Amino acid sequence: MEFQLPEINLQLMAPEIFLFLWALAVMAFDVTTKRKSSSTAGNLALVGLAVTGVIMVFTDQGRGFGNMFFNDSMAVFFKVIFLAAAFMAIGSSFGLTHTRILNHRGEYFGLILLSTVGMMFLASSSELISLYIGLELTTIPLFVLAAFFKDDRKSVEAGIKYLVVGAFSSALLLYGLSFIYGLTGTTDIAQIRSILAHSAVAGFNPAYQESTPIMVMAVLAILGGIGFKLALPPFHQWVPDVYEGAPTPITAFLSVGSKAAGLVAFAKIMIMGLYDLYDPSKAPNDWGILVGVMAAAAMIVGNVLAIRQTNIKRMLAYSSIAHAGYVMVGMLALNSLGLASVGYYMFAYLFTNMGAFAIVALIEDRTGSCEIASYAGLSKTSPFLAISMTIFLLSLTGIPPLAGFFGKFYVFAAAIKMAETGSGLTWIYWLVGVGLVTSVFALYYYANVMRTMYFVETDSPLKVTMSPMAVAVIVIGVVGVVVFGLNPQPIVQFASDMPAALGALLP
């Protein structure tokens, strides 16, 4: 029996392979050594991430395993975000004196690395099956990490909730993908697109610009599946509980890394594969308006419910729902600026959110409290934390000249540019309007935290002892937010290759 292997090009996935082996090494190291020094496994994990970054610089772009692995500029951009998010999450776990982490250091850091590997595979996949497996590789370690504090009811609850929701959303996504496969006869995303564009078969008829009911069902199922991962309403209810219960560095990693992974999956399936169902130049923009409604709902629900929260982790959870809405506005703008604005937004969000959660983690570890009220008087006892937190919150609100402002600016600019091109696209103006109005709500609840830190008098202000690694992460966050806010050009330049990369996958 003769058979032909596809061209494998293993060297293209050198970063992923290295990080995978390194994650195993971190876990093996922790098992084989006596648990004396507290930080060796974490240090090893940080070194591994840094080396992976260096390897990525020397890795070419191209295809491997036939057409299944595709290291394009979009993949590289998102891989940088994943690596940076993992780096900052591990850094902010470092200072934690939690014995519950310390007892399983190897597995804790190893699973963060393995989840990162999954995200990197996801970003490189150009085919539905490997994309789905990449998504599972991302989320399965996160189930375990969310439930890592086994003697904490809330953490276990977070783990189980995330597991159930994750499994459900995966099943929904898979259901939708199987319809797409049934209609087009291929799992290759570029081929799916060309079949939908060029022939009047399957679930879509270009001549009439309408989708058949089966295609509608497929799109609904896929949007549901990805909507869960991105926490877009009405699939957002799990977010506050999981974010509150999970260990804080893991919450941070969930809110940035996992969200970016969901965005990659969305870009690959919906924009790359099902583009012709949402052609901006033609009238019934099938899934566009649906995603638009979900994004508007995310901005409204996230920002309005965040106002009532007294727990800072829950507040940031709702704010992350709102931010998912803002990102999706940029995602809907299918012009040269659209995807680039999404990339910039995620970069800004990475520094801002990871930094903010690093502070929350530090304070939670030292005082055991996540209540916003307990932040009273922080400006007197540790001005460094108060000032950094203020910078992060201002960036989340979108105050110039911080990175968060330019993120929102680019996203809205891309959407308006898009709305100007088509006649049936006036709803995008409404979407931008909703975004601008809800940003004002956001100012209210972020400012409330600042007010508590600076102006509320208290008899027993927080006393926080620093840990060097946590300080380093916070400093990285502040520097990122300020520098990339004052000078957004390098990131925008870096991100501007992405739309072309989506096109490059076409046959």
Partner 1 sequence: MNLDTVIFIVSAVVAVFGATMMIAQRNPVASVLYLILSLVAQAVCYVQLSALFLGAILVVVYAGAIMVLFLFVIMLLNLRGSEDLGQPPKALSRFTKYTIGILMTLELVFIIKGAPLKAMATGLIGKAPDGFGSVEQVARLMFTDYLYPFELTGVLLLIAVVGAVVVAKSRKPGDPEETQTEETAGTNTNEAGS
Task: Name the residue nearer to partner 1 (CB basis): 138 or 438.
Answer: 138
Q: Which is nearer to partner 1, 150 or 451 (CB)?
A: 150
Check: CB of residue 431 under 8 Å from CB of residue 332: yes
How far apart are CB 48 and partner 1 at their closest, in Å?
16
CB of 198 to partner 1, least distance (A): 12
Task: Give backbone dihedrals phi and psi of 66, rounded to 5 degrees, phi first.
Answer: 70, -120
- Give the nearest distance from C-beta 174 to partner 1 in angstroms: 13
Shortest distance (Å) from residue 33 CB to partner 1:
17
Q: Which of 486, 495, 446, 138 is nearest to 322 (CA)?
A: 446
Considering the complex, state which of residue 37 and residue 103 has its C-beta at the smaller distance from partner 1. 103
What are 480's two structure tokens? 């990122």
For partner 1, which is the closer residue by CB, 146 or 473?
146
Positions touching partner 1 (CB under 8 A) are 1, 3-6, 8, 20, 27, 64-66, 68-69, 103-104, 107, 110-111, 114, 117-118, 121, 127, 129-130, 133-134, 136-137, 140-141, 143-144, 147-148, 150-151, 153, 156-157, 159-160, 164, 182-185, 195, 199-202, 212-214, 216-217
φ, ψ (nearest 5 deg) of residue 210: -140, 155
Are the CB atoms for 31 and 87 separated by under 8 Å? no
In angstroms, give the least distance from the CB of 192 to partner 1. Answer: 11
Q: Which two tokens stand for residue 157?
A: 């609850």
Query: Which of residues 66 and 422 has its CB atom nearest to partner 1 in the complex?
Result: 66
Q: How far is the CB of 462 from partner 1 (least distance, A)?
A: 30
Label residue 18 exposed, middle or buried (CB < 10 Å: 0-12, 13-18, 19+): middle
- How far is CA 486 from each of CA 89, 150, 285, 446, rounded to the nearest angstrom? 25, 43, 37, 22
Based on CB atoms, which residue is closest to partner 1, 104 or 417? 104
- The separation between CA 10 and the C-alpha centre of its own chain, rounded to angstroms, equals 27
What lies within 8 Å, CB to CB, of 376 at 6+ separation is 452, 453, 456, 457, 458, 461, 462
Please, what is the minimum distance in Å from the beta carbon of residue 164 to partner 1?
7
**Cα distance from N-terminal residue to C-terminal residue, the chain:** 30
Closest to partner 1 by CB, 68 or 399 = 68
Rounded CA Rg of the chain: 22
